[in-house]
Each structure stands twice: as structure tokens, then as C-alpha cells.
Amino acid sequence: MFQYKCLNPISESGLARFSKHFQETDDLRAADAILVRSAKMHDMLDLDKLLAVARAGAGVNNIPIDAYTEKGIAVFNTPGANANGVKELVIAGMLMASRDLLGGNHWVEENEEDENITKDMEKAKKAFAGTEIKGKKLGVIGLGAIGVLVSNAALNLGMDVYGYDPFLSLKSAWNLARAVHRSKTLDEIFEKCDYITIHVPLTKDTVNMIDADGIAKMKEHAVILNFARNGLVDEDAVLEALATDKLGHYVTDFPTPKVAGVPKVIAFPHLGASTEESEENCAQMAVEQLMDYLENGNITNAVNFPYTDMGVCQTAGRISIIHRNIPNMLTQFTGAFSRDGINITEMSNKTKGAYSYAMFDLDSVIDDDAVKDIENIEGVLKVRVIK
């Protein structure tokens, strides 16, 4: 029986997918698996029983990835599960930046007791006049699941779309509409586009990806939209550009004390994936990935270990080994099995950066002594008997 702990409220439609082999626990130290959304986990390092963490969402900045990887703990996320919810908010953000909908709404609220509001609004509305997005150029930085949906939706709204992603995946390439212009540089996005939306993870290489130099290359009154992560856009540079009318608006899902309440900043309280559908999709994907890993050893959407799928074990035994990506590891594994008289019927060994993940299907049940032989091999981080 596997035990799981939820650090945040997780949709019941996801939790209902757990099989009879799983039960929820309130004891963090008893958990084999953790489901999390936004809870900070960097202080949760002394969890000896923990095998896997599943983030019901895409970002994993709240999880100590490096420390967990060294402990052989798999960390999963759910890319694409909330993509449509974020896409719709990006489109809404563009519309709000192009048409002063907030200003118009505030005027109505302020004049709710005006008996002549129907007449007076005809004079007042010119203060909230805006522009249409049809025919405007949209630059999309990052063509993952969300970036592709935003690009295709903007095309359907009559926009001219430019996309930048030097690491475009085959799946995204297939889903991206042909009419999207592929930009080879960020400068082309900055120089050509009226609206610029960013959809990349926050890493040491993407911090302040949009900075003062990039903003200086943008069109006058360009609009920046950030529904990806705080830290991707240099807020000091944005505030200076807004003050000088270089930028028209900054639309963000990550308000900070610097930008909250600033004129021409349209900010939301991290609403991108806050839809019933997104929360259900993320929860369902997270649960299914955890179950497949714990019950079968298969890995899908782990951020720290490679994709591996050997289906359901049809032999007497299956063992998984998380190890460093160094020479001679497979030879040592197969040698250990041979010494213990265990025959391998099928095997897989995949790598991701400095780490590798191996699975072996065996024609006999592996005993504790054989497991210890493998655990004692230098470079092995975690050994788990699946069956």
C-alpha cells in the first residue's frame, strides 16, 4: 500500500483516480508520494520514505529539485494540463490592454447613482477609447503547450503572429499553425511586435529575459504580457518604460510591491490556471503519473529523470535503478544479476543530463541480497523493487 500526502487542496476528480493501492495520510514522513501546487518544499529535505513528488501545474520553483534528485526522488509536473486556461487569460489581458475596459468599468461604478448615466456615458466613453488587436503583431516567446495555443488563437483573431523558440519540440512544431512566423532572434520579436507575451520556465538563463536593452528595441507603446513566471521580466526597466510612455501597458499574473497599483500595469493574482477545468486536468495528470511510477516504475513528465515506459510488468520481477550517468554502470548491473543467477528478460536505460534511469524485467523474484549488491555499486542513488 502506497501513502500520499497533499500539501495543497487537490481536485477530487484527480484524487478519485488513485487505485485501491493508495491511501491518503496526514503524516508527511509516512508519505511515499506528495501532491503539491504552490506550497514551498525547500525545507522538506529529511523525508526518508519519499519516492516521488507531483506538481499539479507546470512550474517547479517551489520544489528543491537538485536535493531531491540526489536522493533519487522523482519530481513530476503536468505540462499542458492548464494550457487552455492560461491561453484564455493571455487573450483577455491583450484585450484589456488594447481597450480600456477597466477604466470604463470603474467609470460606471463611480457613476452608478447618476440618473443621467445613459446620456453622460456618451460623453465619457471617449476617455476609454482603444485600439483593436486585429491586424496587430503579436510576439510569442516560448512555443511550448501554452505558447502554441496563444499563437493559434491570436491568428484566429486576425493578428500577425511571430514565434521565438530555439528549442521547439517536434510535438509543438506539429501543433503550431503554419501561418506563425518563426523568428530566429529575440530582437526580431522586440522590434516588430505590438504585443509581446512570454511563456518560458524561470531558470538562471531566463532571469530578466526581457530587460532594459530589449525594451529599448520595442515599438513605442508596445505591451508586454507575463503569464509565465515572476522574474522573467525586469520590473525596474518596465516601470521606467511605463513612466516615459515607451511601453503602453505591462500585463502580469504576478503582482509584486513594485508593480501593484502602478498606472498602466494590469495585474492579476496568479489566475492563469485558476479554472475548474485546469485544476481538474492538472490533478488527474499528476495522479496518473504518480501511480504509473510507483506501481510500474514508468516515468512520464519528470523534470529530473528521463522518460521511460516499459508498460506493465509481465514477468516474475521488475527493478528500477536511479544512478549517475557515468561509464560502466550497465555492465555492473548485469554482472550483479548474473552472479545472483537472475536472468534479464527486458531492460531499459535512459539518461537525462547527469542522471540515468534503468529498469529490468526479470524471470525470477529478486531477493534482498541481490538488491544490496546493486545498492553498493558506486553511482547508484536509489534502487526500488517494483515487483
- Specify whether the CB–CB gap between 323 and 329 falls below 8 A: yes
Examine the domain organization and report whether 146 and 256 are in the same domain.
Answer: yes
Lateral strand order in the sheet of 344-352:
344-352, 355-362, 317-324, 380-385
301-323 pLDDT per residue, tens: 999 999 999 999 999 999 999 99
Question: What CATH number should be reported for the domain holding residue 44?
Answer: 3.40.50.720
* Angle CA 105–109–115, to nearest 5: 120
Determine, yes or no, domain membership for 122: no
Task: Note the pLDDT tens digit of each residue in 194-253.
Answer: 999 999 988 899 999 999 999 999 999 999 999 999 999 999 999 999 999 999 999 999
Q: Is residue 171 part of a domain?
A: yes
Burial of 184 (0-12, 13-18, 19+ CB in 10 A): exposed
| pLDDT value at residue 180 | 98
Mean pLDDT of the chain: 95
Which of these, 144, 74, 82, lies nearest to 307 by C-alpha position? 74
User: Is residue 139 assigned to a domain?
Assistant: yes
The residues that bridge with 137 in the sheet, in sequence order, are 160
**Which CATH number is 357's domain given?**
3.30.70.260
Q: Do 66 and 48 contact (CB within 8 A), yes or no?
A: no
273 pLDDT higher than 90: no
User: Which pLDDT value is given to residue 58?
Assistant: 83
Express each pLDDT in 247-272 by its tens digit. Answer: 999 999 999 999 999 999 999 999 99
In a domain, 193, yes or no: yes
Over residues 157-196, the pLDDT tens digits come to: 999 999 999 999 898 999 999 999 999 999 999 999 999 9
**Residues 150, 156, 158, 163, Cα dihedral to 10°:** 30
- Cell 516515468 belongs to residue: 299
Q: Are residues 105 and 192 in the same domain?
A: yes
pLDDT in tens, 102-113: 999 999 999 999
**Within this chain, do residues 49 and 172 fall inside the same structural domain, yes or no?**
no
Three cell numbers written together for 21: 493501492
Pairing of the two strands 317-324 and 380-385 = antiparallel
What is the predicted pLDDT for the residue at 292? 98
Count the neighbouring beta carbons within 10 Å of the beta carbon of residue 178: 5
Q: Are residues 24 and 141 in the same domain?
A: no
pLDDT at 367: 87
Shared domain for 100 and 239, answered yes or no, is: yes
* Predicted structure pTM score: 0.81
385 has which bridge partners?
A: 319
Dist. CA 386–CA 360, nearest whole Å: 10
Decide which of 241, 267, 293 is a domain's last residue: 267
What confidence category does residue 369 fall into, taking pLDDT thresholds of 50, 70 and 90? confident
pLDDT of residue 259: 97
Domain match, 76 and 58 both: yes
Task: Note whether 49 and 102 are same-domain residues.
Answer: no
Q: How far apart are CA 181 and CA 197, in angstroms?
A: 15
Q: For residue 323, how many other CB atoms are within 10 A of its CB? A: 24
In a domain, 202, yes or no: yes
Q: Are residues 217 and 186 in the same domain?
A: yes
Contact 360, 310 (CB under 8 A): no
β-strand partners of 34: 5, 53
Only one residue has cell 477604466, namely 103
Task: Give the separation between CA 225 and CA 268, rounded to whole angstroms.
Answer: 11
Residue 340: is its pLDDT beyond 90? no
Range of 311's domain?
306-387
Q: Tell me whether residue 117 is in a domain.
A: no
Give the domain-ending residue among 267, 292, 322: 267
SS3 call for 256: coil
Q: For 121-161, how does the pLDDT look when each residue is reduced to its tens digit (9 = 90+)?
A: 999 999 999 999 999 999 999 999 999 999 999 999 999 99
First to last CA, the chain: 13
Of the residues 267, 295, 316, which one is the last residue of a structural domain?
Answer: 267
Same domain, 108 and 249: yes
* Whether residue 94 is found in the same domain as residue 212: yes
* Within a domain: 237: yes
- pLDDT tens for each residue of 10-43: 999 999 999 999 999 999 999 999 999 989 999 9
- For residue range 55-77, list pLDDT tens digits in order: 998 889 899 999 999 999 999 99
Q: How many domains does the chain have?
A: 3
Residue 52 maps to a domain: yes
Query: What DSSP line would sit under 9-50, residue for residue?
Result: ---HHHHTT--TTEEE-S-GGG-SEEEESS---TT----TT-
Claim to verify: residue 89 and residue 234 sit in the same structural domain: yes
Q: Are residues 135 and 249 in the same domain?
A: yes
Unique residue bearing C-alpha cell 512570454? 198
